[in-house]
Amino acid sequence: MAAGIGQAHADLADRNADLHRANEAKVKFLAMMSHELRTPLNAIGGYTELLELGLRGPVTSAQVADLARIRRSRDHLLSIINDILSFTRADAGHLTLALSDVHVGPLLADTVSALGVDFGANAVKVIVEPTFETAVVRADVNKLQQVVLNLLTNAVRFTEPGGEVRVSVTVTPEDVHVHVRDTGIGIPADKLDAVFQPFVQVDSALTRQVGGAGLGLAVARELATAMGGTLTVRSEVGVGSVFTLTLGRVLQPAAVGMRTGRNKDPQMDDIADERKIDM
């Protein structure tokens, strides 16, 4: 019996070693493919911008619109590549974090501003509500920005033209909650858990229409969990969805890069005006 148990443990160790090697090979392969795919995609983006600027000769308004579609398609492919690579790294335990104290308000504003043109293509209004300076979390700023980007992209993608996506932040003594609300199609109650599963499409026909690899929300939850947080959703079909990212609050933040100093505590008078970005 002892010999049998020992052999079973040895077999299990061998299988774990094989699995580890397979994961290592998968991560290396995808990292290599990511680099190989990014190079031509970046070239496409660069030449598209040259044409849009008219540096290769005059272009018509119709051609400018077509070039914008090419650029958006290129950006969409890059986002899919990033999602696949991020998910694979997290799944294989290769996710590394560079933690720092991050002011959430400026990060949200910067993320939305940088992607305003892309959101505008969907004719969806994106509103960022004012965020108090006390909304500070311990996180990897790049990973946090990726989570926000994935949530915003998902919300805009599934919101009809003329709809609205609203980003707000609530602060408790222990946590900071980032809410991304949309007026989109909503998610059936029996499908709420499925939206965070990799490659699972809640509505395959609709997903094919709007695009996507079905990884954005899975990656967002993996990154949130890695930073010690949670990502949850509430939704009603035909009304919209609310995705909430929760991270632990930093009460006495150190010097922070992502900070503007404009928004104060609720007890103070200097409260920023609501930031609206009309798409």
Q: Same domain for 150 and 122? A: yes
**CATH code where residue 271 lies:** 3.30.565.10
Where is the domain boundary, 66, 91, 116? 91
Look-up of token digits 């809640």: 202
Q: Same domain for 199 and 242? A: yes
Look-up of token digits 């996180």: 139
> How many structural domains are present in the chain?
2
**CATH code where residue 20 lies:** 1.10.287
In our burial notation (b when 16+ CB lie closer than 10 A, e otherwise), range 41-53 reads beebeeebeebbe
What is the rounded CA–CA span in Å between residue 182 and residue 210? 16
Q: Same domain for 176 and 270? A: yes
Q: Same domain for 144 and 216? A: yes
Find the domain containing 12 and state its range: 2-91
Q: Same domain for 141 and 7? A: no
List the chain pLDDT tens, one digit each, 279 residues. Answer: 777 777 776 777 767 666 656 666 666 666 677 667 778 888 888 888 889 888 888 989 889 888 888 887 887 677 777 777 766 666 656 678 889 999 999 999 988 887 765 565 668 889 999 988 899 999 999 899 989 988 998 898 889 988 999 999 999 999 999 999 999 999 999 888 888 887 666 654 444 445 555 678 988 998 999 999 999 999 999 999 999 999 999 988 775 545 443 343 333 222 233 333 333
Q: Same domain for 131 and 56? A: no
Q: Same domain for 115 and 59? A: no
Strand partners, 67: none
CB 166 within 8 A of CB 127: yes
